[in-house]
Amino acid sequence: MEKVKADQAIDPILKKILSEHLVRHTCQFFEKGKKRLKPYGSGVLVLIHGKHLIFTASHVANAIAQEGKDLFIRVGLRDYINVLGDIKYTDIGNSIGIDLACIKIDPQMIEPLSKPYIFLTIEGIRKHNRMMDAMNYCVIGFPENNINDNKGHLDTGATAYFTTPSNDKRYLHYKYNKKDWVIVDMNGKGTDINTSERKRVNTHFYGLSGCGLWLLLLNKDPQKEEYSYDYKLIGIMTQFKKERFFCLIGNKIHLFIDAFKILENMKFREIQVKYN
């Protein structure tokens, strides 16, 4: 596996991963506003053992479970469907702050969702503890300020952040353990992979809650000078900090897997993964 460092050779691969895969695994939730729907959070669509699920943050799913709101997902230019299904979520106040939810969606949602989106299968999910000091990590979701009224329809867009793991100082300062939590660094400026220009980063992170943290795996064929790639979902992002340290924070994906073993009686086979 190659450590990612953004450059003109890597950028087309990153754009391909984003446009053909990660953005199609990621959905945006909307709630009813006074005049139109408005963004409410993000989620990752997953298919495990024949069950169609949406992983998200507990404080996002809580809108349905406790507040009785209708949340919607876009399935066409002007078409939306409301979220229906069985919701399981952590009680943040009694779970040491763990902020995760799983929506087992109603079967009638599967067909309309399957057209614009791709459900991530278990092969695309990985327990990941050995964080590399490289930009092999991508957070992609829907900031709530990425919104325009375009000729009568709502136009929203995802934002992707290629980032690196935070050091121990962040975990100690914000009092998170490295077993269940993952923290990645953010900066006020970054490189746009479309233009290769340095520009200010969209730091309005509201709306990202529930989106995925992805590990990007790139391998270069020395003979053909070509890259192959893979990606794994390793976490769900739940919050951000902008005080002493500027970073995004999430829960590791193993918490979902451990919960499914108990709640759904699912069985998983773990294998050891070696890094080159």
Report d(CA 81, CA 64) in Å as an integer: 14
Report d(CA 157, CA 115) in Å as an integer: 18
Q: What is the pTM of this model?
A: 0.89
User: Which has the minimum average pLDDT: 16-20, 150-154, 188-192, 217-221?
Assistant: 188-192
Confidence label for 16 from pLDDT (cuts 50, 70 and 90): very high
Which contiguous run of DSSP H or E holds residue 82?
Answer: strand 80-82
Confidence label for 266 from pLDDT (cuts 50, 70 and 90): low
Average pLDDT over the chain, rounded to whole? 87
Mean pLDDT confidence for 238-253 = 93
Report d(CA 135, CA 129) in Å as an integer: 16
Q: Which CATH number fits domain 11-263: 2.60.60.20, 2.40.10.10, 3.40.50.880, 3.40.50.1000?
A: 2.40.10.10
Confidence label for 152 from pLDDT (cuts 50, 70 and 90): low
On whether the CB atoms of residues 137 and 216 are closer than 8 A, the answer is yes
Q: Per residue in 98-107, pLDDT tens? A: 999 999 999 9
Half-sphere exposure of 126 (CA within 13 A, CB side): 19
Q: Per residue in 112-148, pLDDT tens? A: 999 999 999 999 999 888 777 778 899 999 999 888 8
CA 162 vs CA 187, 192, 244: distances in Å? 11, 10, 21
- pLDDT for residue 193 is more than 90: no
- pLDDT for residue 276 is more than 60: no
**Nearest of 53, 58, 75, 71 to residue 119 by alpha carbon:** 53
Phi-psi bin for 49: left (phi > 0), alpha (psi -120 to 50), beta? left
User: Virtual CA dihedral for 111, 125, 248, 216, nearest 10 degrees?
Assistant: -100
Confidence label for 175 from pLDDT (cuts 50, 70 and 90): very high
